Chain A
Amino acid sequence: MNPRSPSRPLALIAIALIAGLALVASACSSSGSSSATFQGKDIVVSNVWARESAGAADTGAVYLTIENTSGTADKLFSASVPQAFAKSASIHETVTSDGTTATTMGAGSSSMMSMKEVASVTIPANGSVTFEPGGYHIMLIGLVAPLKDGQKFDLNLGFLNGGVVKVTANVKAS
């Protein structure tokens, strides 16, 4: 009996696995479509998304991740969108009335939550900040049309050191 024969099925399995890996990887990047990154000076912005509008809403929120690859802290201090898209964009934070951030609220806390505009958000040296529900968001006010699933729109982010970074947001169903 040929001692090498068992390796043939193994090789076949390996080919199947490689094909599977490629499929999974491609499915991942196409469904998330969050793989796009946007570069500034020592600044990398990724996973830029907004939720589809529920009905005829004229406000929206953009979420994203900002990474600072330099040894010096940077600051995001502005956000803007084309006038043809929305009246204004600003940096907002969701806060609770007892001073905690919404994402760390304890069970049963009935403290009130609201959002406030912030002048800037510090991106620590060699660190990152994620804008996510219950935390920071880029607030869109006066949307010309409701956001639709699959839509893309441009946003300019102004950093103290990183300069202006033009990013594209993906609108997701949920």
Chain B
Amino acid sequence: MRRSVLALLSLGIAIALVMSACTSGTSSSSSTTSALNAPRGYKPTPVRKTDTVSLPDYATDSDGVDFSFKAAPGNLLVVFFGFLTCPDICPVTMADIAAGLEELGPTVVQHVEIAFVTVDIERDTGPRMVEYLTHFFPNSTIHALRAPDSAQLSAVTSQFGAQWQVDPHEPGAATYGVAHSGVTYVVDDRGQLVWEWPFGTTGPEVAATLKQLMDTVYPAS
């Protein structure tokens, strides 16, 4: 009798072990750890406005429509600076944000807009950026933003505090290095920067912050 209870207990433990081994093996960025109670990232101070700058948005119009960095009323705008041939930093960040949105569910997701600004204006085109964003965010409002020249791109990145650099190369070269900051920004409907996530912020952390921002930036009226 006692032995069979023990056997049951050990079976239960074995199942728990197998299950935990299984879940830890599937997480995408397992190396990033953080305190569970403190939200990842921070609210930039003093208040920085981002709707003073704009870029052509190719999401709904292949000719590009001017978009100021400001969310629609009641929405949050998530902004990342990257490039399409970036195989590591950019896709993992997109996948983590997408996982966060998945966790939040459609009622919150309809109030979150996703903006991707390319820092590789030579190789990246509007239609290819739309294809890229649709892959990660099929159910979200997206903004595919590409500056017509590097001066306009710099005006935007300096407003956000983001950095980028394209290595010198021959015109039309297929491969050249691109460096960029891996920070993701959140902007509210007044065009104010309300949050910054460092590179490596996980899906659950993205979800927790967005949920909290929705409550604090737009308190129920």
Contact = CB atoms under 8 A, between A and B. Distances in A.
30 contacts: A13-B8, A17-B8, A17-B12, A21-B11, A27-B22, A28-B18, A28-B19, A31-B26, A32-B26, A54-B84, A54-B132, A54-B135, A55-B132, A56-B131, A60-B87, A61-B91, A94-B88, A102-B89, A103-B31, A106-B198, A107-B198, A108-B44, A109-B181, A110-B162, A111-B181, A112-B165, A112-B179, A113-B199, A116-B177, A139-B87
Given A105-B182, A141-B175, 17 more contacts: A10-B5, A21-B15, A24-B19, A28-B19, A47-B25, A54-B132, A59-B87, A97-B179, A103-B29, A110-B183, A112-B181, A115-B88, A130-B31, A134-B31, A134-B88, A134-B199, A139-B87
A34 interface: yes
Interface string B67-97: 0000000000000000011111101101100
Interface centre among A55, A105, A135 (most CB of B within 10 A): A55
Interface of B: 1, 4-5, 7-8, 11-12, 14-15, 18-19, 21-22, 25-26, 28-32, 40-42, 44, 84-89, 91-92, 94-95, 98-99, 128, 131-132, 135-136, 161-165, 175, 177-183, 196, 198-200
A24 to B, nearest CB: 5
Interface string A75-112: 00000000000000000101001000011011111111
Contacts of A139: 87
Nearest to A60: B87
Contact of B84 (A11, A27, A57, A105): A57
Interface string A2-26: 0000110011011001101100110
9 A-B pairs closest in CB distance:
A114-B179, A133-B92, A55-B131, A28-B22, A54-B135, A61-B87, A112-B179, A174-B95, A17-B11
Contact of B88 (A61, A97, A106): A61
* Chain A binding surface, main DSSP class: mixed
A102 B199 contact: yes
B87 A140 contact: yes
Interface of A: 6-7, 10-11, 13-14, 17-18, 20-21, 24-25, 27-28, 31-32, 34, 47, 51, 54-61, 92, 94, 97, 102-103, 105-116, 130, 132-135, 137, 139-141, 174
Nearest to B12: A17
Nearest to B85: A59
B181 A110 contact: yes
Contact of B15 (A20, A115, A141): A20
Contacts of B7: 14
Nearest to A93: B88
Contacts of A14: 4, 7-8, 11
A25 B87 contact: no
